[in-house]
Amino acid sequence: MQPTTHSYTNFSPSFPLARKELLQKIRSKSENLPHLKDSVSLTEISSTAAVHESITDLRKEAQALQKRKHYREALQKLEDALLLSPGNLDILYEELFCLFPLKKYEACVKIAQHILREKNDKSYPHLTKFLLLSLCKLGNYDEAEKIALEILKENPFELQIMNILTFALERQKKFEEAEKWAYKILEKDENNASACNNLAYILVQQNKNLEEALKLVKKALQKEKSNPSYLDTLGLILAKRGNLAAARRVFRQALEKDPGNKEIEAHLKAVGAS
């Protein structure tokens, strides 16, 4: 069963435990609640120490599951915690670490936007990254660009945001602007793997400076030799240089790391692979 997208009006969970099971768990943690009836609302008991302990336990279980990449099971635990603490921003933030790898990008955007409305982003260090990356995954590159530029007005040296902005600009074929931002990043961190790859890809798209592009992507691959995006860029450069057999091998390597990636599949097909 796939987790569903929240509506964020009443924060109804996708994976709630049965009410009786929840109440039984809470009863078992507190001798002060021996006579809870099944009809008691969760709101009435949400302030008890036993409920807080149950929430803490669920979040710890979710964290352990997430570390093992059991994202659906981790998300279920967090949804159970939200049933006990509706609208809890900390729990919603933790859900992003499960929803993003599950490719639930619309849910990520809704959660991130909701938290930003409710609380300062500084409380959640990865929040804007989740928002921007999810917008890019959904193809909303113009919106990602606008938000990234706003963030960089206040924090002009956020290299991660600059990298996402570079990607969003490249996807919109704003190559000159994208190239400028990539060089800005490399001025501050010449070994930044994402910037090296982004700039190499931008150069390839413009069919210029292929030697520089090759050096850049090789530098990126020295840091992350199995990154499918970097391998894809290398494949494009090899194809542009006429080495189609090598390009096919590299594209296949990239697909082994990221099966089903439509863009890499299209690049492989373009160099004559069936």
Provide the domain count of the chain: 1
Residue 22, pLDDT score: 57
Confidence (pLDDT) at 20: 53
Residues of the chain with pLDDT under 50: 1-18, 31-39
Gap between the Cα atoms of 22 and 53, Å rounded: 12
User: Which pLDDT score, from 0 to 100, does residue 42 have?
Assistant: 54
Q: What is the pLDDT of residue 3?
A: 33
pTM: 0.79
* Residue 27 falls inside a structural domain: yes
CB-CB neighbours of 33 under 10 Å: 17
Range of the domain at 68: 1-99
- What is the four-CA torsion angle of 210, 181, 116, 50, rounded to 10 degrees? 60
Question: What pLDDT was estimated at residue 48?
Answer: 73
Cα dihedral 225/159/147/121 (nearest 10)? 100
4 in a domain, yes or no?
Answer: yes
d(CA 97, CA 221): 26
The whole-number pLDDT of residue 45 equals 52
Task: Report phi then psi at 118, rounded to 5.
Answer: -90, -30
Domain contains 214: no
Task: Note the helical H segments in 172-261.
Answer: 175-188, 193-205, 210-223, 228-240, 244-257
Q: Decide if 69 is inside a domain.
A: yes
pLDDT (0 to 100) of residue 49: 72
Taking only Cα atoms into account, the Rg of the chain, rounded to an integer number of angstroms, comes to 23
Q: What is the pLDDT of residue 16?
A: 43
C-alpha dihedral, 257 to 261 to 263 to 264, nearest 10° = 30
Task: Identify whether 221 is part of a domain.
Answer: no
Residue 218 resides in a domain: no
For 227-260, give one letter per residue: b (16+ CB within 10 A) or e.
bbbbbbbbbbbbbeeeeeebbbebbebbbeebee
| Residue 265 domain flag | no
| Residue 76 belongs to some domain of the structure | yes
Q: Which amino acid is at 123?
A: S
User: So what's the pLDDT on residue 9?
Assistant: 32
Q: What are phi and psi for residue 114, nearest 5 degrees?
A: -65, -45
